[in-house]
């Protein structure tokens, strides 16, 4: 009896090549990529920034971001129909109608002056030819499918009235409005909290089951694909270096670059054989696996002491009505010892960044006390702030926007050194070079501006700027959230070495608990402006006392292909 032949793939890509024309001639960006997508399949497309993931998917629907780019060869067949030679009218029907796309940053792709419901209705009217009344009803139904709690009312809301997770749901609803066969999800969860990320991933899986969707999920996080995808394709420098079933790729990767990605994932056990990584697999291949930091002996006096800290912002009221306030921090008390590495975790809006800014005197304090090495911000604000400017520094989330785009990296560091006056003017160039070497950047990069550097290089420059003041305390606010997992591993490893060699105290704010677990000795969990749990990382992660902490830990994407994507109860997260 002969075996049943495999069904033809819904989407078949063969030897697809994309080139760019420049002053130096033609350069290949996508180099002979071949892959298939079956009906109802979720394909994970993984790789670092610049590997060509997003460009490949834009090429599939012929939405290349520049006229200098062109499809130079290969074939893209959708249900047997060739797309590379299809007419403009045919491609307009394909985009949205057959292949929908959701993007990484919904704020940039949702019209800020148009109601969310109308943006969903637009696609229904154009592709499905319904009238406005029927289109509105269909849009409300789709909003309910993607998890809006009151779609009839929320239809009239604007994007800025939603949280990041709800905006991403709106983006998914816009893509689904045209009833596509394939959904391309381009990094849909990168900037989201672990709990919101779990909700979005679970939603995509449910849509696959309910609608029979085929999904291409673009991500740099193998933990995400491990829990959602059927097959994985690994991209590097414009080509697919390895493809196969999820279990095959994650348990026995063949290419050294794939092994490097797996070794860099923070959910990996410490004894993972990173020695297998080939020396030729770029920076990613050199990233070391995360390892728990040793706990140093604690000094008797805290470097930072926070007592019943409250930060409130006015949210309404006026001359004739009582003023109302939003409590961003509601009675936070915390001690941070010299040489300690403390992780502060929680969902967006939990008060993490407000605590960091109040700790450094960057946000006004409504009540309570912040003491820095014995000096109080409330009692002696001028002297304490002056001391903090000399002995504390901050590393920000966005490595590009936190640096002056008009200054070179060398000029940025030199400015800090001149302002603080800790280095003689004649010694500033040598100190700039020393700072760059300290964060493992080539001193030759001092003449470049931020836009000429990668995200990881920019973040290293931001760390160098923080180190320029010779700080005792560094507060890192979501500083690896937007970086690839391999670059994250390098930055975390850099922080670990700096803390060990420079007598630094580090406060590391993150929504990625997996990173905090491996970098920090102690973790502080925040929820609705309060500390709900704190303690040694090993103890909190192994035996969380609070249901909220347990929900955060359960939502961490794990690289184990056998682990199910856990969905924390909504009641726990909203309580």
Predicted confidence at residue 1, as pLDDT, reads 45
Helix/strand/coil for 371: strand
H or E element at residue 247:
helix 246-251
Q: If we measure between CA atoms, which residue out of 548, 541, 546, 554 comes closest to residue 574?
A: 548
Angle of the 132-145 helix axis to the 164-176 helix axis, nearest 10: 130
Report the distance separating Cα 121 and Cα 42, nearest Å. 26
H or E element at residue 496:
helix 485-502
Is 304-558 the same fold as 39-63+85-266?
yes
In the structure encoding, which two tokens stand for residue 412, read together?
Answer: 């940025």
Q: What is the mean pLDDT of residues 448-453?
A: 85
> 139 near 117, Cβ under 8 Å?
yes
> 75 near 81, Cβ under 8 Å?
no
Domain locations in the chain as residue ranges: 39-63+85-266, 304-558
> 574 near 243, Cβ under 8 Å?
no
Predicted confidence at residue 269, as pLDDT, reads 44
440: pLDDT strictly greater than 50:
yes
* Range scoring the smallest mean pLDDT among 304-308, 317-321, 474-478, 515-519: 317-321
Predicted confidence at residue 566, as pLDDT, reads 58
**pLDDT tens, residue by residue, 272-291:** 333 333 333 344 344 444 45
Report the distance separating Cα 401 and Cα 266, nearest Å. 26
Q: What is the mean pLDDT of residues 512-529?
A: 89
In the structure encoding, which two tokens stand for residue 167, read together?
Answer: 């905006």
**pLDDT tens, residue by residue, 394-420:** 998 777 778 888 999 999 999 999 998
Report the distance separating Cα 150 and Cα 97, nearest Å. 26
In the structure encoding, which two tokens stand for residue 49, read together?
Answer: 């920034």
Q: What are phi and psi of 87, to 5 degrees?
A: -70, 165
Give the contacts of 353 (CB within 8 A, at least 6 positions apart).
Answer: 477, 478, 509
* pLDDT band with cut points at 50, 70 and 90 for residue 71: very high
In the structure encoding, which two tokens stand for residue 81, read together?
Answer: 């129909």
Report the distance separating Cα 520 and Cα 421, nearest Å. 32
Other C-beta atoms lying within 10 Å of the C-beta of residue 267: 20
CA distances from 103 to 70, 186, 462, 512, 565 (A): 22, 5, 27, 21, 22
In the beta sheet, which residues pair with residue 69?
Answer: 20
Among 3.40.50.300, 3.20.20.120, 1.20.1560.10, 3.60.21.10, name the CATH number for the domain at 39-63+85-266.
3.40.50.300
Report the distance separating Cα 146 and Cα 168, nearest Å. 10
Q: What is the mean pLDDT of residues 54-65?
A: 91
Share of the chain above pLDDT 70, in %: 88
> 313 near 477, Cβ under 8 Å?
no
DSSP 388-427: HHHHEEEE-S-TTTTS-TTS-HHHHHHHHHHHHT-S-GGG
Q: What is the mean pLDDT of residues 499-510?
A: 90
Q: What are phi and psi of 476, to 5 degrees?
A: -105, 110
**pLDDT tens, residue by residue, 80-94:** 899 999 999 999 889
In the structure encoding, which two tokens stand for residue 44, read together?
Answer: 């994970």
* pLDDT band with cut points at 50, 70 and 90 for residue 482: low
571: pLDDT strictly greater than 50:
no
| Radius of gyration, CA atoms only, the chain | 25
Angle of the 409-420 helix axis to the 455-467 helix axis, nearest 10: 10
In the beta sheet, which residues pair with residue 183?
Answer: 100, 215
3-state helix, strand, coil in the chain (%, to 5): 40, 25, 35
Q: What is the mean pLDDT of residues 315-338?
A: 81
**Where do the H-state alpha helices sit in 146-192?**
151-154, 164-176
Among 3.30.1180.10, 3.40.50.300, 3.40.50.970, 3.40.50.1100, name the CATH number for the domain at 304-558.
3.40.50.300
Q: If we measure between CA atoms, which residue out of 304, 478, 503 comes closest to residue 384?
A: 304
CA distances from 90 to 26, 62, 82, 181, 522 (A): 29, 11, 11, 16, 57
DSSP 258-303: HHHHHHH-TTS-TT--GGGS-TTSHHHHHPPPP-PPPPPPPPSS-S
Report the distance separating Cα 412 and Cα 399, nearest Å. 13
CA distances from 146 to 139, 143, 214, 448, 567 (A): 11, 5, 17, 44, 15
Q: Decide which of 532 and 267 is more confident.
A: 532
Give the contacts of 467 (CB within 8 A, at least 6 positions apart).
Answer: 393, 435, 438, 439, 474, 498, 502
299: pLDDT strictly greater than 60:
no
HSE toward the beta carbon, residue 163, CA cutoff 13 A:
13
> 91 near 85, Cβ under 8 Å?
no
Predicted confidence at residue 293, as pLDDT, reads 52
Helix/strand/coil for 143: helix
Q: If we measure between CA atoms, which residue out of 249, 181, 187 comes closest to residue 218?
A: 187
User: What does pLDDT average to over the chain?
Assistant: 84
Q: If we measure between CA atoms, which residue out of 119, 188, 191, 102 comes closest to residue 158?
A: 119
186: pLDDT strictly greater than 70:
yes
Q: What is the mean pLDDT of residues 430-458?
A: 88
Report the distance separating Cα 411 and Cα 143, nearest Å. 49
């Amino acid at each position: 009896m002969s075996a049943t032949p495999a069904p033809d793939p819904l989407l078949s890509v063969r030897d697809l090549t994309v080139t760019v024309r420049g002053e130096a001639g033609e350069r290949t960006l996508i180099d002979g990529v071949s892959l298939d997508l079956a009906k109802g399949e979720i394909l994970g497309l993984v790789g670092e920034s610049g590997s060509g993931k997003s460009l490949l998917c834009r090429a599939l629907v012929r939405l290349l971001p520049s006229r200098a780019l062109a499809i130079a060869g290969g074939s893209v067949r959708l249900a047997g129909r060739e797309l590379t030679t299809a007419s403009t009218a045919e491609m307009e029907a394909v985009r949205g109608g057959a292949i929908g796309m959701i993007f990484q940053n919904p704020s940039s792709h949702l019209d800020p002056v148009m109601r969310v419901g109308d943006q969903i209705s637009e696609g229904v009217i154009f592709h499905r030819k319904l009238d406005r009344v029927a289109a509105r009803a269909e849009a409300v139904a789709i909003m309910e499918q993607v998890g809006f709690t009151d779609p009839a009312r929320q239809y009239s809301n604007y994007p800025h009235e939603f949280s990041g997770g709800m905006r991403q749901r709106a983006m998914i609803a816009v893509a689904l409005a045209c009833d596509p066969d394939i959904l391309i999800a381009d990094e849909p969860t990168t900037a989201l909290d672990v709990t919101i990320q779990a909700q979005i991933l679970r939603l995509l899986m449910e849509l696959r089951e309910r609608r029979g969707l085929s999904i291409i999920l673009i991500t740099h996080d193998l933990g995400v694909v491990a829990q959602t995808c059927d097959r994985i394709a690994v991209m590097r420098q414009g080509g697919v270096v390895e493809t196969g079933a999820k279990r095959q790729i994650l348990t026995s990767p063949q290419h050294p670059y794939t092994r490097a990605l797996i070794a860099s994932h923070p959910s990996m056990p410490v004894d993972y054989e990173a020695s297998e990584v080939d020396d030729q697999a770029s920076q990613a291949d050199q990233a070391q696996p995360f390892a728990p930091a040793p706990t140093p002996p604690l000094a008797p006096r805290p470097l930072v002491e926070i007592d019943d800290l409250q930060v409130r912002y006015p949210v309404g009221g006026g001359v004739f009505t009582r003023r109302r306030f939003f409590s961003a921090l509601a009675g936070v008390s915390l001690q941070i010892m010299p040489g300690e590495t403390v992780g502060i975790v929680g969902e967006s809006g939990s008060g993490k960044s407000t605590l960091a800014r109040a700790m450094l005197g960057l946000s006004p304090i409504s009540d309570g006390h912040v003491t820095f090495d014995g000096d109080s911000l409330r009692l002696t604000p001028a002297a304490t702030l002056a001391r903090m400017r000399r002995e504390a520094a901050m590393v920000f989330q966005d490595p590009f926007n936190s640096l002056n785009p008009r200054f070179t990296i060398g000029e940025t560091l030199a400015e800090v050194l001149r302002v603080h006056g800790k280095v003689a003017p004649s010694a500033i160039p040598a100190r700039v070079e020393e700072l760059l070497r300290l964060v493992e950047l080539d001193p030759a990069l001092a003449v470049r501006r931020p836009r000429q550097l990668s995200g990881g290089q920019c973040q290293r420059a931001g760390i160098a700027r923080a180190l320029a003041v010779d700080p005792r305390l560094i507060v890192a606010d979501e500083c690896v959230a937007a970086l690839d997992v391999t670059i994250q591993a390098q930055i975390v490893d850099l922080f670990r070495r700096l803390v060990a060699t420079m007598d630094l105290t580090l406060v590391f704010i993150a929504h990625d608990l997996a990173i905090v677990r491996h970098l920090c000795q102690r973790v502080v969990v925040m929820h609705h402006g309060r500390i709900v749990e704190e303690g040694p990382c090993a103890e909190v992660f192994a035996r969380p006392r609070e249901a909220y902490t347990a929900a955060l830990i359960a939502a961490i994407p794990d690289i184990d292909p056998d682990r199910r994507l856990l969905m924390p109860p909504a009641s726990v997260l909203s309580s």
